Structures are given as structure tokens and as C-alpha cells.
Amino acid sequence: MRNAFVTGAYGLLGGWLCKALLDAGVRVVVLKRDEVPLSGLRLEGTEARCAVVHGSVTDGELMSRVLTEYEVDTVFHLAAQTIVGAANRSPISTFETNVRGTWLLLEACRTDGRVQRVVVAASDKAYGPSDALPYREDFALQPRYPYDASKAAADLIARSYWHTYGLPVAITRFANLYGGGDPNTSRLIPETVSAALAGRPPVIRSDGSAERDYLYVEDAVQAYLAIARALDEGRARGEAFNAGSGRPWSVREVVELVCEAAGTRVEPDIRGTGTPAGELDRQYIDGSKLREATGWAPAVDLRDGLVRTVEWYRGHPEALIRLPELR
């Protein structure tokens, strides 16, 4: 791996992945569509170490030019519209970015001919509702809502590029990622950290009972790198991999652990009943396939990961959300 192209570099995972690649001596090219002032990529100074290309993943000609001019051998495709509520309100823009953007980039990789490894971020949300848990990779993808459907479509399209064209691509279906530097301030953990550090009650927009699997961002980075290595060894091509902690945590439990990590005694302000429309009640995954293929396993449990997350925000107070009402 010499020259890596990272889409979605200004997101939570992208910022940490770029830092790890740069520290390993890889030249990193990132795609920048909008200004993201709260991104960890900027706040930690990682952006200055990257080659920055301005544009959108939905520009197929630009994707081809980037791959050619920077002699890209590795692609990490993380770019997506990731907010479930936004997808429900505006499905077209979500499908444009998450689905069309994926096939345009994969087509650029196919026609370029020099790309040796591609890792595409799908999501555990692609599985849809299931009475059988945890999710395993051999489960059918049965999404119901726009974001989930967009990720399932990207997943299927990416795998078709291996089976049809031999493009060395693997797909990730990871649990909810968390850590310092998340620019999506409407997400549960950055909102709760900001509230806890300010000493105000964290607001929960549901009844707090919905359960999710959570994966610390640095563990996710190591999983991506492990998958990229497995592509070189021929053990991951055309395959999808789960990664997570392997157990579900309720929203209420997560909020309580954040408050504990922040050293505050505030009680959450619960404003909802049930689970918000367009979201599932309970999700968690089985990560044994990735462990067996690569030896990867999460090293950071949720309690420790939230302590690290709180400390990151203490060190970067400019990233905290300062609005009195968040939801």
C-alpha cells in the first residue's frame, strides 16, 4: 500500500483512518466536498498532511482523474450520507451519494486497472429488522428504510464488481462507530458528551430502550487495515465482514456511561416514547468471520472507549456542541 484514496475522510472513521495510514508511511489523498470545521481530520492537523481534492464522489470523471494522477493503489470508500433522519426526509440525496457515488467510484477503479484493493463501507443497518440476532454475514439483506436500503444497494453493487470484473473489493458492515472527532453532532454520543461536560441533562429523543452495538473508532481503523491486508492475500475478495463489540447496549446505558466518564451526576432528559420512526429497536452483530479471516478483535470496550472519547473532547473543546437545546 503506497497511495491511498479515502472518500469520507472528514467523517469520524475517515479522520482516524487517514492518520493511521499517514503514520504508516502511506501517501493519502482525500476528497473534500464541503467545509467540515468540526472534523477530527482538521482539528488534529491531519488534513495538512494529505493531498486534498475538492469535489464529490458523484463526479465520475473526477474519480477517474484522482486515481490516475495520484497513482492510487488502495481505495477506502467511506463517503456517505449517514444520518437516518436526514435520509428519511430527503431520500434522493441519500441515494445519490450512497448508491450512485459507490458505482461511479467502483467503475473508475475498474477502468483504471491499477487499483489493487478497495474497501467499501456498507453498514449493519443493511440487514434490516430480524428476529434472529446477532447478525451474521450469511443473513439476507432486508432493509426497510432509505438509509438502510442505500447501504444494502452499495453492498450488493460492490460485491458484483468482484464477481463480474475481478475488482479486489471487500465490504464492511460495522456497528455504530464512536470516538473523538465525530462531525455529525446530532449523533447520540457527541451530543451526550457535550451535554455532560457542560453539566446539562443529556436529551434522549426516544424512551432510551433501543439497543445498538458500538465499536470504538480506533478498533474500526484496525479492522479496515486488516481487511485491506486480507485482500492482498486473496481471503477477502467479494466478501462482506461484520465488526462490533458483539453485544447490544441501550441508549439509556450509553448515556449513563458517558456521564460516568465525564464525572457528572446529571440525569438524562427523556423526551420520547418508543423508538423513533425509521429506526430499529435492537441490533448487534457477530464478528467471528472477520476474526477467523484476519485475527482482528476489538481491543477497547465501551466503558474505556467512552472515557477516551470524553478525554478527546476535553482536549478539543472547540468541537463541543454549545447549544442549550440539542434535539
Point out the catalytic residue in the list 10, 147, 161, 224: 147
Closest listed residue to residue 57, CA positions, set 14, 17, 1, 3 = 14
Cα dihedral 313, 317, 321, 323 sign? positive
Beta strands 211-212 and 249-250, pairing class: antiparallel
* 238 touches 170 (CB < 8 A): yes
Closest listed residue to residue 217, CA positions, set 176, 173, 260, 189 = 176
Give me the pLDDT at residue 324, please: 46
Give me the pLDDT at residue 157, please: 98
Give me the pLDDT at residue 107, please: 98
pLDDT in single tens digits along all 327 residues of the chain: 999 999 999 999 999 999 999 999 999 999 999 888 889 999 999 999 999 999 999 999 999 999 999 999 999 999 999 888 889 999 999 999 999 999 999 999 999 999 999 999 999 999 999 989 999 999 999 999 999 999 999 999 999 999 999 999 999 999 999 999 998 878 899 999 999 999 999 988 888 899 999 999 999 999 999 999 999 999 999 999 999 998 999 999 999 999 999 999 888 888 877 666 667 778 899 999 999 999 999 999 999 999 999 999 999 999 987 654 443
Give me the pLDDT at residue 82, please: 86
Domain ranges of the chain: 3-177+215-243, 179-212+247-282+299-319
- Classify domain 179-212+247-282+299-319 by CATH number: 3.90.25.10
Decide if 147 is catalytic. Answer: yes
Give me the pLDDT at residue 272, please: 77
Closest listed residue to residue 182, CA positions, set 36, 30, 325 = 36
pTM (2 d.p.): 0.94
* DSSP single-letter state for residue 49: G
Q: Enumerate the H helices of 171-235 as residue ranges.
A: 188-198, 217-232
Cα–Cα separations (whole angstroms), residue 16 to 84, 189, 310 = 23, 17, 16
Where b means 16+ CB within 10 Å and e means fewer, 117-137 reads: bbbbbbbbbbbbeeeebbbeb
Give me the pLDDT at residue 322, please: 67
Separation of alpha carbons 236 and 293, rounded Å = 8
CATH says 3-177+215-243 is which class? Answer: alpha beta
Give me the pLDDT at residue 184, please: 86
